[in-house]
Chain A
Amino acid sequence: SQELEQSPQSLIVQEGKNLTINCTSSKTLYGLYWYKQKYGEGLIFLMMLQKGGEEKSHEKITAKLDEKKQQSSLHITASQPSHAGIYLCGAGNYGGSQGNLIFGKGTKLSVKP
């Protein structure tokens, strides 16, 4: 079965610093999703990447997909306290985008003001 490994598991950064979170899949990726979650709350959709080499940005968050490496990275520029939370990567379990998702264990981000 496919597994997603996220690194690091947790991260504490000073406000204003940049950071990167990685997500590596044990199998070929059919769509890679990034979500943000505050513990005990629902998931907030950030971005979806489908093609190798694809890169998307939303405000100060950029995500890239390296299909060959079966890996995606999430980069936050000039972090703010509002970026704090748990970041989850999810991958489509089938060839399309309508299947269920499997998730990594998450990266807990804390931003010190």
Chain B
Amino acid sequence: GAVVSQHPSWVICKSGTSVKIECRSLDFQATTMFWYRQFPKQSLMLMATSNEGSKATYEQGVEKDKFLINHASLTLSTLTVTSAHPEDSSFYICSAGGAGVNEQYFGPGTRLTVT
């Protein structure tokens, strides 16, 4: 089956710094990738839709200038949390679905802790 990887799997950073999270589709091309966020004991909430070669579409309430998304190739999307604050600490999961794929494939997630 299709495999999606994320890097890093966990990261601790200081408040005010920026953190980049990578999402890669390893054995298929993904024209669209999705970024979700999950707070403790809560469900996954969609943050943005990343489209290869174009600007990402952000969900209401998600700051596009804070969560920078780049989908430069069909196998890689990156999420950069800029000027991170402790309230950004969360579990970030990406998913990918390319043409002809009937189900979304999720990455293993990245746990971000901002101190």
Contact = CB atoms under 8 A, between A and B. Distances in A.
Check if A and B associate: yes
Interface of A: 33, 35, 40-43, 45, 48, 88, 90, 97-98, 100-106
Contacts of A101: 34, 46, 95, 104
A98 B101 CA distance: 8
Given A41-B109, A42-B109, A102 B46 contact: yes
Chain B contact residues: over half helix, strand or loop, or mixed?
A: strand
Contact of B49 (A41, A88, A100): A100
A97 B106 contact: no
A108 to B, nearest CB: 9
Nearest to A93: B46
Given A103-B43, A105-B42, A97 B103 contact: yes
A105 B106 contact: no
Given A42-B93, A100-B49, 15 more contacts: A40-B111, A41-B108, A42-B108, A43-B93, A43-B106, A45-B1, A45-B103, A45-B105, A88-B44, A90-B44, A97-B101, A98-B32, A98-B97, A103-B44, A105-B43
B97 A48 contact: no
Contacts of A88: 43-44
Nearest to B97: A98
Interface of B: 1, 6, 32, 34, 42-46, 49, 91, 93, 95, 97, 101-109, 111
B109 A106 contact: no
Given A42-B93, A42-B108, A88-B43, A48 B32 contact: no
Contacts of B44: 43, 88, 90, 103
A86 B34 CA distance: 21
B106 A42 contact: yes
